[in-house]
A = this chain, B = another copy of it.
Amino acid sequence: MYNYGIAIHGGAGTISKSLMSEEKEKTYVEALTKARDAGYAILRGGGSSIDAVVASVSSLEDCPLFNAGKGAVFNAEGSHELDASIMSGKALDAGAVAAVQGVKNPIQLAKLVMVHSDHILLMGEGALKFAKPYNVAMENAEYFHDDHRFNQWQRMKGSDDFQLDHSDKPKQYLGTVGAVALDSHGDLAAATSTGGMTNKKFGRIGDSPIIGAGTYANNNTCAISCTGSGEYLMKGVTAYDISCMMEYGGMSLYDASHQSINTHLLKLGGDGGVVGIDRKGNIVMPFNCEGMYRASKNRNASNVLIYKV
């Protein structure tokens, strides 16, 4: 039996301990623990890595603390456009949605695209049309409303600024959630979901729904989910970059992920991090900024972390 395990993230950025209250920290730790354990329970029961990452990411999407699903930030029009992608390392199947509105759990829709369509990436109204026969849970604007997000948007509305989530600096937009898992059958999977950037315009699509950039899984190498400055992760093709360093360069997951985040991404000028797992169950969670909401669990160890350790 393979050494199954899971790692999740809830975004990275300028997460400063000095600005974090003890109570706020506790709510993050609880939410990350709950999301991680939702996926881990499936792995422990012999379930698939795909089901595990969908369960963990759905849990993060349902939590208003993270910029995905319910907690998605406001775009320039005051609405919420959601992106998500998923990939199976077994046959390299993948599915993704971009700029969908009103979908409670975009990661579940991405999985439907993977399983039931001939396509990988569906966007906007078209993706919702595809979703119709599958009774995907929809929510109204009230569900996605959050006072904190709304105020973030009000401060930038009408300007050319855009902002992430876990950052007080404009033009840093690092809010994303994701999960990677290895199941007991030896199959890897990765999933990523995001609400994009506060005040984003022009139908911008970031790295999260892009296979190779925000998400990648391959049983020969690893499963990766990224978070960070999306445009740099797209230029760096970061998720596949890590896989290629392993496949073509013979590197370990640890060395490849650290080189991609701390050398390649930094050189491009990008902030961010990844969670990754390989077929031996090795877990990595490197990032090149102040903090990354993250958690992992396998049969030997578990953790929930926010800052550098």
Residue numbers of A with Cβ under 8 A of B are 87, 92-94, 98-99, 117-127, 129-130, 162, 171, 201-206, 210-213, 216, 231, 234-237, 240-241, 244-245, 247-249, 268
Contact = CB atoms under 8 A, between A and B. Distances in A.
Contacts of A231: 118-120
A250 to B, nearest CB: 8
Given A124-B203, A244-B244, A237 B234 contact: no
A129 B241 contact: no
Given A118-B171, A212-B213, A240-B212, A127 B203 contact: yes
Contacts of A98: 123, 205
B202 A129 contact: yes
Contacts of A244: 240-241, 244-245, 247-248
B237 A126 contact: no
A291 B235 CA distance: 31
Given A98-B205, A202-B129, A234 B211 contact: yes
A119 B211 CA distance: 18
Given A202-B126, A203-B123, A237 B237 contact: yes
B212 A122 contact: no
Contacts of A119: 202, 204, 231
Contact of A249 (B204, B235, B249): B249
Q: How many protomers of this protein does the assembly include?
A: 2
A205 B122 contact: yes
8 contacts: A92-B236, A118-B171, A124-B124, A125-B203, A210-B211, A211-B234, A244-B244, A247-B248
A129 B201 contact: yes
A262 to B, nearest CB: 17
Contacts of A125: 203
A239 to B, nearest CB: 9
Contact of A126 (B94, B130, B203, B241): B203
Contacts of A126: 201-204
Contacts of A93: 235
A122 B211 contact: no
Nearest to A244: B244
Contacts of A241: 240, 244
Contacts of A237: 211-212, 216, 237, 240
A268 B211 CA distance: 15
Nearest to A117: B202
A-B pairs, 5 with minimum CB distance = A126-B203, A244-B244, A248-B249, A212-B237, A126-B202
Contacts of A240: 212, 237, 240-241, 244
Contacts of A249: 248-249
Nearest to A235: B92
A127 B205 CA distance: 11
A205 B201 CA distance: 19
Nearest to A125: B203
